[in-house]
C-alpha cells in the first residue's frame, strides 16, 4: 500500500501521523486531505512543505461528489481517516456539524472506497481513528476493552460511535478491509487551545484564569500524541481486516491533579514562585452530561502487536509546555480571530 490518503492531516493528531509516515516510509506517497476548519492548520506541517512524498489537498469530506472524484483521480491504496469535528463542548452547542462531518463525511469516504476498490478489497485498507468516548463513562473501577458495549453520552461521542458502526458495517456487509482504533485523550505539540492542557498552558502563560469544570473530579487517561501515531502505524500495517484495538497510556489523572501538576511545571519554566499558577485555577459550571471517568485497557495492542507508550507523563507534559513556550507565533496565530469569540461565548460567566 503505497499511496495513502490521510484525512484531517492538518489537525492535531493527523499532523503527527502524516509526519511519522513520511519519516518512516520513504516509498510512500502521503496525501493530506483537510478542509482547514478552525482546528486545521498548515503551520502544523511546514517542515514537510517541500517533501516530494507529501501533498496537501484542501477539501471537505461532507462533499460526496468531490470525494468520489478524488478517489477516481488519485486512486489511493489506503485511507487513514482522522478528519472530524473533535471538541465535545462545540458538539453540545452545534451537534449537526458533528453529524455532517463525523457521520456523513465518514460514509462518503466509505462509499468512495467501496466503489473505487471493488474486486480488490484485500489490497486496500480503510482505517478509522476513533475515541474511547464511544464507550461512555466508568465508575471508580474497571476499564474499557474492545468488547465493551458502546454507550456514548455527548453529541461528539455519539457521532464517533455512529461512524464506527458504519465502518464495521461496510466490513460485515461489503467485505471492505477496515480497521478501527479507539484511543484515550492525547496531549502534545500542535494541540488546539480549546482542549484542557493547551488551554491551561496558554492561560497560565498569559496570567488568565484557568477554567476547570465542576470540581475537577473527572478522570481521563492521557497518551503522548506521538505514541498514538506510532500505534496507528503498527495497527495500520499489522491488524487483521475487521479488527479493533484500544489505545491508551495506562495513565489516569483527575483533571484537577493534572492541572496542579501543569501549574508546578509552568511555575518552574516561567521562573515564577511556586503556587503562582495554581492561583489562577477557577472552577466553572460543569459540562452538561460530563462523563466521570475513562480508562482504557490497551493490553490487546500491547500483547498482539507489541506496542508500548514511549514516554512517561511528567516528561511528556514538560516537553509539551516547552513546545508551547517556544512557539509563540503558532499560538498567536490560532488564538486570534474566531478563537476569541468562541472563548468569550464558552466562558462568558468567568
Q: Does 61 bind ligand NAD (CB under 6 A)?
A: yes
Integer distance in angstroms from the first to the last C-alpha of the chain? 51
Question: Interface with ligand NAD includes 189 (CB under 6 A)?
Answer: no
Instruction: Choose, from 54, 121, 135, 156, the residue flagged as catalytic.
Output: 156
Active site residue 146: no
Contact between 251 and ligand NAD by CB under 6 A: the answer reads no
> In the annotation, is 49 catalytic?
no
Which of 42/284 has CB closer to ligand NAD?
42
Question: Is residue 12 involved in binding ligand NAD (CB under 6 A)?
Answer: yes
Q: Which of residues 93-122 bind ligand NAD (CB under 6 A)?
A: 101, 105
User: Is 133 an active-site residue?
Assistant: yes
Contact between 212 and ligand NAD by CB under 6 A: the answer reads no
Q: Which of residues 143-182 bind ligand NAD (CB under 6 A)?
A: 160
Considering the complex, state which of residue 183 and residue 301 has its C-beta at the smaller distance from ligand NAD: 183
Selecting among 60, 133, 226, 297, the annotated active-site residue is: 133
- Among candidate residues 34, 132, 146, 252, the one labeled active-site is 132
| Position 19 contacts ligand NAD (CB under 6 A) | no
Task: Give the residue, chosen from 78, 83, 180, 235, that forms a contact with ligand NAD under the rule CB under 6 A.
Answer: 83
The one segment of 58-66, 255-263, 293-301, 329-337 that binds ligand NAD by CB under 6 A: 58-66
Q: Mind telling me the catalytic residues?
A: 132-133, 156
Binding residues vs ligand NAD (CB under 6 A): 7-8, 10-14, 34-37, 39-40, 60-62, 82-86, 101, 105, 129-131, 160, 183, 185-186, 192
Amino acid at each position: 500500500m503505497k499511496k495513502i490518503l490521510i484525512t484531517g492531516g492538518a489537525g492535531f493528531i493527523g499532523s503527527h501521523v502524516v509526519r511519522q509516515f513520511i519519516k518512516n516510509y520513504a516509498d510512500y506517497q502521503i496525501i493530506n486531505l483537510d478542509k482547514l476548519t478552525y482546528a486545521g492548520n498548515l503551520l502544523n506541517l511546514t517542515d514537510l512543505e517541500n517533501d516530494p512524498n507529501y501533498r496537501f489537498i484542501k477539501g471537505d469530506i461532507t462533499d460526496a461528489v468531490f470525494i468520489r472524484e478524488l478517489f477516481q483521480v488519485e486512486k489511493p491504496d489506503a485511507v487513514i481517516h482522522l478528519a472530524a469535528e473533535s471538541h465535545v463542548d462545540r458538539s453540545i452547542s452545534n451537534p449537526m456539524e458533528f453529524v455532517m462531518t463525523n457521520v456523513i463525511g465518514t460514509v462518503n469516504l466509505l462509499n468512495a472506497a467501496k466503489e473505487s476498490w471493488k474486486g480488490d478489497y484485500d489490497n486496500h485498507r480503510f482505517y478509522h481513528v476513533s475515541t474511547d468516548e464511544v464507550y461512555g463513562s466508568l465508575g471508580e473501577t474497571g476499564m474499557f476493552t474492545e468488547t465493551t458495549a458502546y454507550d456514548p453520552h455527548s453529541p461528539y461521542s455519539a457521532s464517533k460511535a455512529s461512524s464506527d458502526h458504519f465502518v464495521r458495517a461496510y466490513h460485515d456487509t461489503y467485505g471492505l478491509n477496515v480497521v478501527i482504533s479507539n484511543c484515550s485523550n492525547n496531549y502534545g505539540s500542535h494541540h488546539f487551545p480549546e482542549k484542557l492542557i493547551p488551554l491551561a498552558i496558554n492561560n497560565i502563560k498569559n496570567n488568565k484564569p484557568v477554567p476547570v469544570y465542576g470540581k475537577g473530579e473527572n478522570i481521563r487517561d492521557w497518551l503522548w500524541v506521538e505514541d498514538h501515531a506510532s500505534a496507528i502505524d503498527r495497527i495500520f500495517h499489522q491488524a487483521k481486516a475487521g479488527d479493533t484495538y484500544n489505545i491508551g497510556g495506562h495513565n489516569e489523572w483527575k483533571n484537577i491533579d493534572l492541572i496542579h501538576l501543569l501549574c508546578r511545571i509552568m511555575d518552574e519554566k516561567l521562573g515564577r514562585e511556586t503556587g503562582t499558577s495554581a492561583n489562577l485555577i477557577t472552577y466553572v459550571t460543569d459540562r452538561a452530561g460530563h462523563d466521570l471517568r475513562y480508562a482504557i485497557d490497551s493490553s490487546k495492542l500491547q500483547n498482539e502487536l507489541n506496542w508500548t507508550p514511549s514516554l512517561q507523563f511528567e516528561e511528556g507534559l514538560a516537553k509539551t509546555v516547552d513546545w508551547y513556550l517556544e512557539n509563540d507565533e503558532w499560538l498567536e496565530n490560532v488564538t486570534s480571530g474566531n478563537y476569541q469569540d468562541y472563548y468569550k461565548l464558552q466562558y462568558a460567566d468567568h
